[in-house]
Chain A
């Protein structure tokens, strides 16, 4: 809000999901700078591009699927090609919604990463949501930023810096690279692995394009057993792909295990169920660490035994309770109005 108050060139375009994207505060504070576009995602891209050509900085807010997959050609031609300062804010990233396949943006990062001129961000916590705005000023071209709404975990106490990898833990054996909400989903695995004698260096990347800094590169060079990536997105074209590209182009000989949605369409459910089902939680990472360490239970074909999986999950749950600030979730954007996770069903 204070960002928009200081910057009169900022306008907001919304495609019929204003309160669902928490843009209603902007609408109330700056009604003359708020544009209701209705469900015209294709035109909305052209309109945002046109406004940017006249010196405005349009923020386009809707669900992530509707700023990427649906109006992709318009995004490419009206915004990315002319390299205009449009900010695309995509809510419901990945499999964080019960809305099902139509509302789950599992390929959004892949789509926008393929467009030249785009900066691609995937935010991991409340601090990043609060501080990303300061980063935007330094980006002259278009930005795609996916983020959670409502209940958002708080993990970091330093502001976000573009392109800078955050290090959550040190460790010499396995490098774990996560982005977006996956960082919070899996972070207890570090303590779990440490107790079993495996050191995990946990890195959080919020800038997916441009990709890779010295911290990330140095970590991948030093990974003794391998690199694990975990993302709330398809393993095609997102964080995992970007890491593989970097590893290959640097000529590193490390193995990369990509956790994420394994090139399949998804279905609706609670975030916790979906993270478990599609393997973007600490259980999946624990198994990957086990496999890299050569442990037989983890390398078993066909997945973990049910009993073992339950036991391991319970163990990880206990480690999670030991984390600082756990459960660490808070509601952003609507002071004093906690939005229960179930209310995410509203207005889908």
Chain B
């Protein structure tokens, strides 16, 4: 199980995070809307995970995303198609399970920025007959389970870890959660199971952007105090600035024996595109006018200049 991840390649991660945002913004502008705020909040998390924090083998998926062929019941190989972008299924390699499938566009952009998926694949996003779906399934690049119905990925990871233990393997499983889905009851069943079975193979990263479909999480249904609640459920919990790659890297690099680890990443749904802030409290699905799009692009450029300048 990977525990020695070395040093965080912070400059590379920041550059990739910026490119992920840029690619998602570009896509949102061209398509008249998209899950843009999810990219703003989670770009550093994705970029950090895919820049060496996770120990993944090279992608074995087709560089250009495959067209839709069948569901797993019709052709069982489809079950592993999305996962193939995260490298081969080997006990000595990590796996990544994304719980909020609404982040699919961010995941696809990440796979492109880490050379696991050809950029042209994004042209298939949300097109009929494509696997590059808006809210994907396990045939979609990078998706290891069908998780669009929120709150279900952690249970799958628990089962996979227990399954690997049956054959004597200990493989690290990374699970990305959004904060809104902590409202789902199943999440807390799964938190309890992971700690009861001492699954220190599991690391959860929570993109705590404080935002969900209807508005701020705190107003829709408060979930805080997340850190204290997870501690009470027997988890090792660390809270970090989710836009700080080194902080994420460090928090996820040291494991505690027999305890699953949760890294609560505090993030902002407009990070990198400051003009999005005025859309508060609605960030779930962003549509931009021509003027707004122009301002967003300028904001993103400025954030890059500011970063390299600072």
A contacts, CB < 8 Å to B: 11, 33, 35, 37-38, 40, 42-56, 58, 73-74, 77-78, 80-83, 116-117, 140-141
Give the dominant DSSP class at B's interface: helix
Query: Is B159 on the interface with A (CB-CB < 8 A)?
Result: yes
Bound CA span A43–B76, Å: 23
Bound CA span A141–B186, Å: 24
- For B75, the closest partner residue in chain A by CB is A83
> Does A46 lie within 8 Å of B159, measured CB to CB?
yes
Q: Which of A11, A49, A80 contacts B166 (CB 8 A)?
A: A11
Known: A35-B162, A47-B158, A50-B160. A83 touches B72 (CB 8 A): yes
Bound CA span A42–B159, Å: 13
Count of A-B contacts judged by CB separation below 8 Å = 116
> Does A73 lie within 8 Å of B149, measured CB to CB?
yes
Residues in A with CB closer than 8 Å to B186 are: 40, 42-43, 46, 74
Query: Is B185 on the interface with A (CB-CB < 8 A)?
Result: yes
Bound CA span A17–B166, Å: 23
How near does chain A come to B187, taking the closest CB pair, in angstroms?
9
The interface bits of chain B over 175-190 (1 if a CB of A lies within 8 angstroms of the residue's CB, else 0) are: 0000000000110011
Best-buried of B72, B161, B186 by chain A (most CB within 10 Å) = B186
Pull 11 A–B residue pairs with CB atoms less than 8 Å apart, ordered by A.
A35-B162, A40-B189, A40-B193, A42-B189, A50-B145, A50-B161, A53-B163, A54-B164, A78-B152, A81-B72, A141-B73
Query: Is B156 on the interface with A (CB-CB < 8 A)?
Result: yes
Bound CA span A51–B164, Å: 8
How near does chain B come to A31, taking the closest CB pair, in angstroms?
13
Report the interface size class on chain B.
20 to 34
> Does B162 lie within 8 Å of A42, measured CB to CB?
no
> Does A38 lie within 8 Å of B79, measured CB to CB?
no
Bound CA span A37–B159, Å: 11
Bound CA span A52–B138, Å: 15
How near does chain A come to B303, taking the closest CB pair, in angstroms?
37
Residues in A with CB closer than 8 Å to B193 are: 37-38, 40, 43, 47
Bound CA span A117–B70, Å: 13
Residues in A with CB closer than 8 Å to B157 are: 50
> Does B163 lie within 8 Å of A55, measured CB to CB?
yes
Q: Which of B79, B149, B156 contacts A50 (CB 8 A)?
A: B156
> Does B159 lie within 8 Å of A55, measured CB to CB?
no
How near does chain B come to A80, taking the closest CB pair, in angstroms?
8
- For B151, the closest partner residue in chain A by CB is A42
Bound CA span A235–B138, Å: 35
Best-buried of A35, A43, A49, A51 by chain B (most CB within 10 Å) = A43
> Does A116 lie within 8 Å of B189, measured CB to CB?
no
Bound CA span A54–B168, Å: 12
> Does B146 lie within 8 Å of A77, measured CB to CB?
yes
> Does B159 lie within 8 Å of A47, measured CB to CB?
yes
- For A11, the closest partner residue in chain B by CB is B166
Bound CA span A40–B155, Å: 10
Query: Is B293 on the interface with A (CB-CB < 8 A)?
Result: no
How near does chain A come to B83, taking the closest CB pair, in angstroms?
9
Residues in A with CB closer than 8 Å to B154 are: 43, 46
Q: Which of A48, A81, A140 contacts B71 (CB 8 A)?
A: A81
Known: A50-B160, A81-B72. A42 touches B185 (CB 8 A): yes
How near does chain A come to B157, taking the closest CB pair, in angstroms?
6
> Does B164 lie within 8 Å of A74, measured CB to CB?
no
Bound CA span A40–B51, Å: 35
> Does A78 lie within 8 Å of B163, measured CB to CB?
no
Residues in A with CB closer than 8 Å to B164 are: 54
Bound CA span A56–B166, Å: 9
- For A118, the closest partner residue in chain B by CB is B73
Within 8 A of A (CB), among B222-240: none
Bound CA span A285–B263, Å: 62
> Does B79 lie within 8 Å of A82, measured CB to CB?
yes
Q: Which of B137, B162, B196 contacts A81 (CB 8 A)?
A: B137
Query: Is B251 on the interface with A (CB-CB < 8 A)?
Result: no
> Does B79 lie within 8 Å of A83, measured CB to CB?
yes
Bound CA span A48–B196, Å: 16
Residues in B with CB closer than 8 Å to A58 are: 159
Query: Is B279 on the interface with A (CB-CB < 8 A)?
Result: no
Q: Which of B72, B160, B167, B196 contacts A82 (CB 8 A)?
A: B72
Residues in B with CB closer than 8 Å to A45 are: 155
